A = this chain, B = another copy of it.
Amino acid sequence: MYTYEHPHPAVTTDVVVFTIRDERLQVLLVKRRNPPFTGCWALPGGFVNIDEDIEACALRELQEETGVSGVFLEQLYTFGAPDRDPRERVITVTYYALVPHDHIRIEAASDASAATWFDCTDLPALAFDHDQVIATALKRLRAKLQYSTVAFQFLPDKFTLSELQRVYEIILDQTLDKRNFRRRMLSYGLLAATEEKVRNGNHRPARLYRPQTPGRVEFIK
């Protein structure tokens, strides 16, 4: 048991894990096995260990739930309404993560009871204030698409410009002009053309590109 002179809140991290699957932007949710909100869907997350850095905690949760590491993770917002958890005062530092779609087979490797991907546009009822958290993450992600290279984080090491364009279209939910999109992306000088091409159907093969600074999210504009 641990005692303090003044009452202390508990601190958790919750992570909004985004990926693009089946041409949809999806979020990873887990089914809660314990009260409160037993049986309810919730964001993966958990308590910050007393000697653990907050971001390290988010990374750990991400690893435990999805098996992935080395992916984009950014602090989002800290939610702490006094009554957001009926058990005790809980303040949650939220993060969002972007996982490339070719990594998510690892989902099966998760120890999680029932971890499932949900369409962002078709979410179930959520525990706590997690609907608010996801809404905030979505807003941030959409904003960040406009002025950074976050979108690369959804794709494997090498990808085609059409794949990249699809990422933008799916997240922003609007079609984009192919020529303008390509010109813009290449003008930043953050993509290197490779000599490789991929055949992906009965049509002309597409050239693969790779980020100049893989793993880093650069500012554009």
State the A residues within 8 Å of B (CB): 1-11, 47-48, 50-54, 75, 77-78, 80-82, 89, 91, 93
Contacting pair B89 A51 (CB below 8 A): yes
Q: What residues on B are CB-neighbors of A11 within 8 Å?
A: 8-9, 11, 80, 91
The list of the 3 closest CB pairs from A to B, nearest first, reads A8-B8, A7-B50, A54-B80
Which of A1, A5, A8, A52 has the most chain B CB within a 10 Å cutoff? A8
Contacting pair B2 A4 (CB below 8 A): yes
Q: What residues on B are CB-neighbors of A78 within 8 Å?
A: 54, 75, 78, 93
Quick one: copies of this chain in the complex? 2
Contacting pair B80 A53 (CB below 8 A): yes
Q: What residues on B are CB-neighbors of A89 within 8 Å?
A: 50-51
Contacting pair B3 A1 (CB below 8 A): yes
Q: How far is the CA of A3 from the CA of B3 in the complex (A)?
A: 4
What is the distance, in angstroms, from A48's C-beta to the closest C-beta of chain B?
Answer: 7
Q: How far is the CA of A89 from the CA of B51 in the complex (A)?
A: 8
Show 8 residue pairs from A and B whose CB-CB distance is below 8 angstroms, ordered by the A residue.
A1-B5, A2-B6, A7-B50, A11-B80, A48-B91, A53-B80, A53-B81, A75-B77
Q: What residues on B are CB-neighbors of A80 within 8 Å?
A: 11, 48, 53-54, 93
Contacting pair B9 A48 (CB below 8 A): yes
Q: What residues on B are CB-neighbors of A9 within 8 Å?
A: 8, 11, 48, 50
What is the distance, in angstroms, from A181's C-beta to the closest C-beta of chain B?
Answer: 21
Q: How far is the CA of A50 from the CA of B10 in the complex (A)?
A: 10
